[in-house]
Each structure stands twice: as C-alpha cells, then as structure tokens.
Chain A
C-alpha cells in the first residue's frame, strides 16, 4: 500500500516523467484515493505550467535577431572554411576564397602585364568623388570580380571536396590572420603614415589590383573625419596580404587607421569577437594594445584600428557604415 509519504517523495519525479512505470502506477492509484495527494499533484503540475509559461515569455526571437544570427552563422562558416556564400542583387551565389588570385589568373588570364594596363583606370577611380562611387556600386563590382569567378570554379566540385579543401587551409589561415592583424596595428602604430607605393614587378605577379578602392571617409557626413596627410594616393597604401588599402584619419579627435580589405583574402572576423551593433555584426579585438574593429560585408571588410577601447572602435566603424548607407 503506497503511503502519502512515498508519494510525496516521488512527486517531483512523477511530474517530471522520470518515475518508473510501476511506481507511477502505484502513485496514481494512491492519488485517485487521496484528496491531499491529488491536490498536491495538481498543484505541482500547475506550478510547472506556470514556470514554463514565464520562462517562455521572451523566447520568441525577433526577425531582426534571426536575420542577424543567420549572418553570423554564414560569416562564421566562411571564416572557418575559407569561403563565403552570400547573395547580392547581381549574383545568386558568390563564393570567395583565398585562392582568389590563382583562380583569377587561371580563369580570366590576369597577369602582371595585364595589371599594368589596368592601373591607370584604378587610379582614376580613386580620384573620383565619393558620390560617384557608391558602395552599393562597389560591392557588386567586388563580388563580380572575385565571387563570380570563384563560384564558377567551385560550383562544379562536390561539397565534401570543397569542405576538405578549405578545412586544410584553416590552421594556416588562422596564423596568417594573426599576422594580418599585427600588420594592421603596425600600420596604425607608425608615428607617421607609412607610405608604400605599389611595387609591381615581375617577381610580384601574385599582386592584383584590389577590386575596390578605399572610400574617402572625410566626405561622409556627420562622421567628422579628417584625412591625415600622406604623400601617395590612398590606393598606394594598400596591403597586399589583405588585398586591401589603409588610410590614416582623425575621427572625432582620435587618430584611427581605416582599412578596406578583401574578406576572402583576410577573413579577420575569425580571430575577433563578434558583437551585434545595430544592424551590423562588428568583430572586435585587441592587438598589441590597440583595438581592431571590423565589419565584413560580403566580399569587402571595413576595419578601424585605434587606441580607443574596442567597443568604441566598434561604434565608430558601425557609424561609418551607417553614414555610408545614408550618404
């Protein structure tokens, strides 16, 4: 004969569905005959229901959160695997990898010689105004330049082959990314902007023109950015490893170095911590005492190195992106 005390000891496991069948039957039989235990069982069930309701109060994720997390997952996948799957208005599926240079040459026939012919055009682009070079225009250009070519190369490969290929790159890539971050900090840390002209030579055939140029931030309203003096065009300050360019600025009283780079060549987010900030995922971190904050949007990443705290750097780069959108 089951007693109230036994049922009292079993009641948690009974309501939780963890009581063995024979004891559960014993307990139910007792409860059917005992008003006190029946009320206790009803109370326990009501209590669980209420806790569940309360716990579920805020569990419906907003659409914004879902979209942001989707972006984060895709960004993380591309950071780990070395390729990104994104979509733009012009491309259904643009994939970019570190093999960009090799594939570019193989499929399109780029060469150092060809680059020399292209360089003046790039310089002209640099000298054009901010207004004529909307980022919305640049992104598809960058995507077309890198993504379409690569997607053509990748799309015919089985998925597992792709995964193996990119997985083998991961370890090497992570150490490379650290060196890239150091490179960015070094560039920022220099007492005066380091001016490096592009040194294209026959021995430097792997260097290609970046598929975008550094946008002049000083033209972005409300950012209060002032470009610091340097002797060469902004694109000359480019970093071949990052396949990007840098430019020193003074923004809101702080000296910062602004970078635009190719995320396929340098998915820096893999070495930084992602933080949601408004509509962006800003990746932040500290390197040699300086903060790095970057927003990677499809094929192009925009980063700031500064002596600001990381979160302020994140705010700054997010503001720059927002200002760019509303420009």
Chain B
C-alpha cells in the first residue's frame, strides 16, 4: 500500500464533499475530477499555510472554489449580472401555504421526488455565484462565516446570494409543479401577511442578532 501522510489522509477524507461541490460547479463528472485533483495538488503545495486545528474542509473548498473561478469564470459579465440582481430587495411570500404543502413529499421530509429531479437542472442553471453559495450552504452545510471566508465576500453578500439562489430554485420548482399539476395555476399569494409589505433582509439586524445586542 502507498504510504499517505496524515495531511494527505485527512484531505482525501473530504473527497466526497470536494467532488460534490466540484460536480455542481463544473456540471461535468470529468471536469469535476480534474478540479478536485487540481485542488488537492494545490493544497499539497500550500499545506504549509494550513493551520492545524482549523477547518480543513473549508480550506480545501476555498482552494477548489478559487481554482474553479480562475479556470472557468467567463469574464466579468456574469458577475455584473449577479451583482445587479443582488441589488433587488429581498422578500418572499410568493408561494401559498397550500402550494408549499402540496410540493412536500408526505412520505418524507423532502420535496416530492419529481421535483427533486427538477432541482438538479435548476441548480446547474443557477448563476455561478448563487450556485456556489447554495451548494456550500445546503449541500455542504457550511456556516455563513465559512462560506464568506471561502468566497472572499462579506456575510451579507453570502446571505443575499443564498436567498436569491434559493428563490430562483423555488420559482423553477413552482413552475414545474404547476406543469405537473401538483399545484393549480391560480394558487398564488394566499399568504398575504408579509407579502403585502416586502422587506429586505437586514444585514445590520442579522449582525445585532448574532452579537446579541438587539
């Protein structure tokens, strides 16, 4: 058997996570494997910079993300589009309670299986920044702080991208659910309580909540 160092073993133990994120980012099995390989090679070369005791998975994901961005990002157009969308107010309430209930799988704690299939395509269709945030949060279950460190952006931007990315996914799910007849066409906005007065998520409120100074 080949002899691996402790660092190499630890790094390889995060292979499923790296592969999951890489696959969602590249949308290609082959490219995702290349991306993971590049990530591990870079991690090996920079392993002196890793601080033992900190989150190796987050560190590896940061390398993977940067590698992906450097290699695949198609100029600044997409970024400007994404940042333009970020400027929109964030609010919800566009889905009725009945619609939400109809979309859930009564047999499990997930959505209906036919909707899950739609998520796969919708996830791949998300703008890159949103996709990254959603994958890191919902697939890898990283904290906002960790995602912020990985993406190199403020926590508020992470929250914004998460909210917008998830919203795009949900809207596609609704469309798909309507096509499938899971929810009726006219079934919209029953839940008018906060739909009538949409408010953006307040970063200051979040910070004060987190710091306990509210």
How far is it, in angstroms, between the C-alpha of A86 and the C-alpha of B138 when the chains are bound? 39
Q: Is the CB of B201 within 8 A of A74?
A: no
Q: Is the CB of A57 within 8 A of B120?
A: yes
The chain B residue with its CB closest to the CB of A159 is: B5
| Selected interface stretch from A37-45, A175-183, A200-208 | A37-45
In the bound complex, residues from chain B placing their C-beta under 8 Å from that of A124 are: none
Q: Is the CB of A73 within 8 A of B8?
A: yes
How far is it, in angstroms, between the C-alpha of A274 and the C-alpha of B42 when the chains are bound? 11
B195 nearest CB across to chain A (Å): 9
B177 nearest CB across to chain A (Å): 12
Q: Does B151 interact with chain A (Cβ within 8 Å)?
A: no
Q: Does B29 interact with chain A (Cβ within 8 Å)?
A: yes
In the bound complex, residues from chain B placing their C-beta under 8 Å from that of A16 are: 137, 144, 162
| Selected interface stretch from B52-60, B61-69, B80-88, B95-103 | B95-103
In the bound complex, residues from chain A placing their C-beta under 8 Å from that of B166 are: 12, 47
Q: Is the CB of B44 within 8 A of A73?
A: yes
Task: Please tell me which one of the listed residues B33, B100, B105, B143 contacts residue A39 in the complex, with CB atoms under 8 A apart.
Answer: B100
Given contacts A5-B193, A39-B97, contact A69 B15 (CB under 8 A): yes
Given contacts A9-B201, A87-B2, contact A52 B138 (CB under 8 A): yes
A-B pairs under 8 A by CB, number: 181
B130 nearest CB across to chain A (Å): 12
| Selected interface stretch from A59-67, A221-229, A317-325 | A59-67
Q: Is the CB of B138 within 8 A of A276?
A: no
Q: Does B119 interact with chain A (Cβ within 8 Å)?
A: yes
In the bound complex, residues from chain B placing their C-beta under 8 Å from that of A55 are: 20-21, 24, 123, 135, 138-140
Given contacts A36-B193, A49-B109, A77-B8, contact A72 B41 (CB under 8 A): yes
Interface of A is mostly: helix
How far is it, in angstroms, between the C-alpha of A134 and the C-alpha of B1 when the chains are bound? 23
Chain B: residues with Cβ within 8 Å of the partner, total of 74
Q: Does A13 interact with chain B (Cβ within 8 Å)?
A: yes
Given contacts A12-B201, A57-B120, contact A51 B138 (CB under 8 A): yes
Interface size class of A (residues with CB under 8 A): 35 or more
Q: Does A141 interact with chain B (Cβ within 8 Å)?
A: no
Q: Does A197 interact with chain B (Cβ within 8 Å)?
A: no
Q: Mark B166-181, 1 if CB is under 8 A from A, else 0.
A: 1001100100000000
Q: Is the CB of B40 within 8 A of A51?
A: no
16 contacts between A and B (CB under 8 A): A5-B194, A5-B197, A19-B209, A23-B209, A46-B110, A50-B110, A55-B20, A55-B24, A59-B16, A59-B20, A65-B33, A66-B15, A77-B44, A85-B2, A274-B37, A276-B37
Known: A11-B92, A46-B104, A61-B15. 20 other contacts (CB 8 A): A5-B193, A12-B159, A18-B210, A20-B212, A39-B100, A43-B95, A49-B108, A49-B110, A50-B116, A52-B141, A53-B116, A54-B116, A55-B24, A55-B138, A55-B139, A56-B139, A72-B37, A93-B3, A274-B38, A274-B41
